[in-house]
Structure 1
Amino acid sequence: MPSSTHPTVGRADPRLPGGDVRAGDDHLRHRRRRPGRGLTDDRFALALMAPAAVFLAVFVGWPLVKLIVDSLYDIAPLAGTREFAGLGNYGEALTSPGFLGAAGRTALYTMLVVTLEFTLGLAVALLFNALGRRARWIRTLFLYPLMIAPVVAGLLWRFLLIDNFGIVNELLTRLGIIGGPDAIGWLSDPDIVLFSVALPDIWLTTSFMALVLFAGLQNIPGDVLEAARLDGSGPWHTLTRVTLPLLRPVIAVALVVRGIDAARAFDVILIQTNGGPQSASETLSLLIYRTMVRFGEPGLASAMGTLYLIAMLGVALIAVATIWRPGKVVR
């Protein structure tokens, strides 16, 4: 059968130079190459991603591999010895009261910080969304705490909450709410110190949560909200049944990012209490730091860090799986 009977094979394309199939193929290959570079689009994209891939491999991949490898050894830095311990460090960490206590305090601290930040951030984001352009300058001022370093924020709140001569207790005394400047030991009472050291973190990053949620609110179609209003939906019903379900992807990202960041809180707590009193504010980050630096046990500290990493990955996956359901409106 002649090749000309097929609609595509062997037919000349008058739009292509030369009027034949080979000329068309050469033309397409020429279009896929970067001008003057001799690179296809795929290779050009790989070339652009290569620096980031190398950076991640050197500064993330290799430290992660070294962390896992060191967790399998009993290392004595001063003696210069390194003995294979298998899963011994993991067993010691999981049976250590200090590790289990620090894990519980880290979970409590994270839930406290993220819950308050999400609640306050959502309220502020809804307010900004309602005000529209009138909230432009307020949004700018509200973002200022993000520019403050955590160490500076820790020092500031330490001066505010320190016993006997802290500004907060002094104001409460003058207002007649408490009996004296030493009535509340914000940073010395084990029962409330975890809440006290969480205040700077909440103050610093509530603006981040509000900014992320406000950006998500801007992407909700106005037609959906208008349809809910026309159907007789009240403000609370619209928020819980329409707005929040449409914000699921944004909420998932915000909670995971802030949850991981809050769970690794270190400098803010170190500056305020150094983990005290009586280890009441000692989180996993502080415990791992002390195990590594003060007690000189890199193997045990690496095992704690590996368990810490696995737990955070598990929580992040669960949060994404349960929250991230974009576009599903609750009826």
Structure 2
Amino acid sequence: MLRATYTRYILKFKQPAGTSRGILTEKETWFVKVWYSEQPEIYGLGECALFRGLSADDTPNYEKKLAYICQNINTLMLYELKGLSSILFGLDTAIADLNNGGKRIIYSTPFTEGQTDIEINGLIWMGDKDTMRQRIIEKLDAGFHCVKLKIGAIDFEEELDLLRYIRKQFSKEVVELRVDANGAFTPQEAPRKLEELSRYDIHSIEQPIRQGQWEEMAILCRNTPIPIALDEELIGIEVSDKSKLLDMIRPQYIVIKPSLLGSFSGSWEWIARSQERNIGWWITSALESNIGLNAIAQWTAYLQTFLPTGMPQGLGTGQLYTNNIPSPLEQTGSTIRYNPQVNWDLSQISF
């Protein structure tokens, strides 16, 4: 008989992580464990990567729902997981892990055998101007060819100055620049700010205005000098509305975050619809621990075997925490790889 249990875990940031929504010093997450009662020593592990204030399933009774699902794992109906993206992501990962022998292999590919790696972008969190400048230098020195800056929290002119600083040293052929506004601009100011940003050969801007303003976002996407990528806009959208959203807004890109978009199946629905409409996409983690990041990286590697994007992915969040789960994931320069010679250390997790 299949069994399941869960535990809460608080991830601690090495440095405060600034976004336009505020500063993060810790991140709550939940681990779920599944096993067969006949073989309890073999178990699958997943991460229900709840993102407070952003996940569609961020509700006061979240733990109660998770407990119910674990208690009723054998009789659970699919409709009972509707709208519970982070829980579905955790269960999908744990069950795939169990089915593959409980070795944290979610998708077996050359990536999990250590034969291939994944190109990633370097993420620059918000901070004061000098701190951000130092972080930019560190990423460029590490060999990143794609750098993503969080913008929208400090003075806009200072943010432009940081972009100017990068472009003085590196052309767009050498360093790809992405920015993420997390919805910080108003629809009224967005056209002017996009125009100013376009002077610095920006690859794309994620979510320039707050989600839920489809008409305003559609106008921006039609007239923007910089390609726009939808991010928060995709969270919590019903299956029946996914095509409607893409047809109305017509973004240049979408950002795929499995723990926020209905796990791998929900994420694939977005990718498939985007492919049909010639909309570009890349995959990004959403502050998961290495348990969740491992699953997303393996899924990304699996997709790239038959649907390569040729773009850096947003999977560089594994080094953010002081108490992350030690894993075979290794970030070397601008790539992430899985080293099968390294063992998982799960001693920090107790159920």
Which bin holds the TM-score, normalised by the shorter protein? under 0.3
- Structure 2 length normalisation: TM-score? 0.23
Higher relative contact order (CA 8 A, sep 6+): 1
More strand by share: 2
Larger Rg: 1
- Structure 1 length normalisation: TM-score? 0.24
